[in-house]
A and B are shown apart, each in its own frame.
Chain A
Amino acid sequence: MKYAEMTKSFRQFFELPLTPVAVKFNSDETPNISSPMRYCEMVRKSAALGTTFTATVDEMSCASAEVSLGFTEPSYGEVYPRVKPADTKQITVSPLDKTEFEPDAVVVVGSSAKLMRIAATLAKVEGGMIASKFKGEFAVCGECTAIPVMENKTNLSMLCSGARMFSDYRSDELAFGFPLDSFVHLVESLKEDSITKALCGCLMDDLPARVVDSILSLGFTKGTDHFIGRFGDEIIRLYIPKDERGKSSTVTLHVPVKFKDNDAAEAAEEVASTLFEDLMMYRRRENWIDVVLLVELYESINRAAAKPEKFTAFVNDGIEVMLEKISKFKRKAIK
């Protein structure tokens, strides 16, 4: 029952009503079908009812599946997709959680919304786009079984009219075929934070990844609600303020300068008032003076970060100005 745990976490994660189905060619199981069935019907029944089917060519009621699953060679011309050479003697379809054998493929049936989530997660796990070769024929047998087995690739299928008309597939359902290794890799990845990370209520939740990446590339690290990094002799904080509509087109750089006590900080405010002007501001907080530089991006931060060179130049200039001004401020204010 080594696949039981895997099935449980997969179904839980993707909230799937149907069980993934394991497919095995030429298994050692005993055929158990009393009257001929379609392969796609076996798959859906297995997914929905947890039934295990083992069929030889005599129990197959669909000629297309006979060819695509490699029971028989095509009579004329080539057929794609299909299992070749055609040396399939029997095929076993079983709910993955009850599977004892090592499957050749795993077929997942679900609504388009559920399979979209699987696709999105798979894309993160494997990188790149999700392959989807389909033509509305030979769907569960060819597109979801033969392709994973012959090409060792996942494939998303729109199903075919046979499956929808005769085998009880719902109108909003699709099917996804996996080679075993891809399926196992996907399930194991569901434990990775990077894949499963959810929004936590941090104030930077809505920052696009490219904005974060651009800021990190400058040498900052991401705190909970702002960025922070060491530049020269100073620790500089970068915050992304929002206007009243929730839009961001500026970043602010902060360096809090510490003084011996409140009186010293109060005295330093006089120096600050002559030194910091235009886009620079300061604010006393107890015995600290928080020096702030506003970096105007002249466009939304999302668009600005899409031009990394310009964006990093803006912020780097800000950092340089900040370092110079802070150094001058400290010289003048901290006796």
Chain B
Amino acid sequence: MNLDIYNDLKRGVESSYINLNPIQRGGVLTPEARKAVLEFADGYSVCDYCFESRVDLVQNPPVRNLSSDIAEFLNMDDVRYTAGCRHAKWAAMHMVTEPGDTLVLDSLAHYTSYLAAEANQLRVVEVPHSGYPEFTIDPENYAEKFEEVERKTGSLPALALLTHVDYRYGNVADAAGVGKICKEYGVPFLLNTAYSSGIMPIDGKKLGVDFLCCSGHKSWAASAPMGILATTFEWNQQVFEKSTIRGDWSGRGFTKKEVALFGCSPVFGAPVMSLMASFPAVVERVKHWDEEVENARYLATQLERIEGFYQMGVKPTEHTMVAFETLPFFEVAGTTKKRGYFLYHELKKRKIIGVHPGMSKNFKLNTYGLSREQVEYVADAFLDIARQYEIPVEDI
């Protein structure tokens, strides 16, 4: 073992760089959260005054208040913290389905949705997407799939899952449309808001959601691993079911602990405190979602001035994560020593990071939280790289 490699750990990413990484923009900590992380970095630091044996009930620091405030913010009834959005999805599935049940989900769902289903021994039935170039999900197809499942199995699916914003193209799916269909059929509705809640306004009741899963570290300016599972009074007792197990010899019981949350969610430190510290900023920032989308649209328009650049997904984009196909960059990659990494290096030279190293044929980027000046700088950088490699750029 060489223990020296664990000394003096550095991320190697300068804070002065512009980071476009699709999964990192919404998780950039606020200054308040960064301070809170230092204060509450120790393992069980939230538990100094724990009298209720559960992190969500701790009153000092005000985690209990935060829980009800987040429920109000999302317009849901009850909230728990989880070790990431994936844990929230797993927990909801675990508590409302039985092994062998069917889950209907969109075909652009994140892998963790599939794996949560797999871990709960569910069959998955996918709602097709529209294909190239938009890759959209039509809510009506949920109804078709519900009926197909009923025809084949004799009962409706146990749960429907929609990825509110898909991670591949940044399309904002019609959650209200799916919620309406779920209500009509009586199928519980789980909405994965990993890329939406915390950065754009979400009204769970309006969308007809039964289980709203959020990612603190992806979209709520929190440290990982931080997730949120929000639900309604109709479901909270079932989803947050208390432990009934008894030691057969000792007779021990743990009746305050909630089964699907491992009794007390493992977020008692930097995760929940960074979420708390960022929360006021999060409440404020979702009001400015339209400006954020405008920035992304501006960037898409600018990048499409480069010959062969084409924004995939819904146009104009409705989200700050945008996917482009960029064949001319791939052609350039074939002529440079750095191959596909040339783009990564060219951007890094210009203090821009976050485009996946080695990607040049197509890539995704996320402008969330960047100022207009920064977005303009990014656009100019891409145009500059294109010109440098003699790729035609349209004049304005």
Contacts and interface: CB of A to CB of B under 8 A. Distances in A.
Nearest to B313: A285
B168 interface: yes
A224 B168 contact: yes
Interface in A276-295: 285-286, 288, 290
A239 B325 CA distance: 13
How many A residues touch the partner, as a band?
Answer: 20 to 34
A244 B128 contact: yes
Interface stretch (A24-32, A180-188, A251-259): A251-259
Given A286-B316, A288-B315, A223 B361 contact: yes
A230 B327 CA distance: 8
Contact of A239 (B111, B131, B327): B131
B20 to A, nearest CB: 17
B132 interface: yes
A228 interface: yes
B331 interface: yes
A256 B310 contact: yes
A229 B361 CA distance: 10
Interface string B138-174: 0000000000000000000000000000001000000
A6 to B, nearest CB: 18
B31 interface: no
Contact of A241 (B107, B111, B131, B330): B131
How many B residues touch the partner, as a band?
Answer: 20 to 34
A254 B132 contact: yes
B263 interface: no
Contact of B331 (A203, A225, A230, A252): A230
Contacts of B134: 285
Interface string B302-320: 0010001010000110000
A312 interface: no
A210 interface: no
Contacts of B133: 237, 239, 254, 256, 285, 290
Interface in A180-225: 201, 203, 221-225
A252 B304 CA distance: 22
B315 A237 contact: no
A224 B362 contact: yes
A107 to B, nearest CB: 29
A239 B362 CA distance: 15
Given A223-B361, A254-B132, A228 B327 contact: yes
A226 B132 CA distance: 7
Given A241-B131, A242-B128, A244-B128, A258 B304 contact: yes
B279 interface: no
A246 B331 CA distance: 33
A126 B196 CA distance: 48
A288 B312 CA distance: 12
Contacts of B331: 230
B266 to A, nearest CB: 26
B116 to A, nearest CB: 14
Contacts of A230: 327, 331
Interface in A238-252: 239, 241-242, 244, 246, 252
B344 interface: no
A226 B168 CA distance: 13
A286 B331 CA distance: 27
Interface in B334-376: 361-362
B132 A225 contact: yes
A49 interface: no
A203 B131 CA distance: 9
B325 A237 contact: yes
Contacts of B135: 225
A285 B315 contact: yes
Contact of B361 (A203, A221, A239, A288): A221
B315 A286 contact: yes
B326 to A, nearest CB: 9
A235 interface: yes
Nearest to B394: A258
Contacts of A242: 128, 131
A223 B168 CA distance: 12
Nearest to A241: B131
Contact of B111 (A201, A224, A252): A201
Contacts of B128: 242, 244, 246
Contacts of A228: 325, 327, 361-362
- Of B133, B325, B327, B362, chain A has the most CB atoms within 10 Å of the CB of B133
Contacts of A290: 133
Contacts of B327: 221, 228-230, 235
A317 B243 CA distance: 65
Contacts of B132: 225-226, 237, 239, 241, 252, 254
Interface of A: 201, 203, 221-226, 228-230, 235, 237, 239, 241-242, 244, 246, 252, 254, 256, 258, 285-286, 288, 290
25 contacts: A203-B107, A203-B168, A221-B361, A223-B325, A223-B361, A223-B362, A224-B168, A224-B361, A224-B362, A225-B132, A225-B168, A226-B132, A228-B361, A230-B331, A241-B131, A241-B132, A244-B128, A252-B131, A254-B133, A256-B133, A258-B304, A285-B315, A286-B316, A288-B310, A288-B315
Interface of B: 107, 111, 128, 131-135, 168, 304, 308, 310, 315-316, 325, 327, 330-331, 361-362
Q: What 8 pairs between A and B have smallest CB-CB spacing?
A: A239-B132, A285-B315, A286-B315, A241-B131, A226-B132, A201-B111, A223-B362, A235-B308
Given A237-B325, A242-B128, 6 more contacts: A201-B111, A223-B361, A225-B168, A230-B327, A241-B131, A246-B128
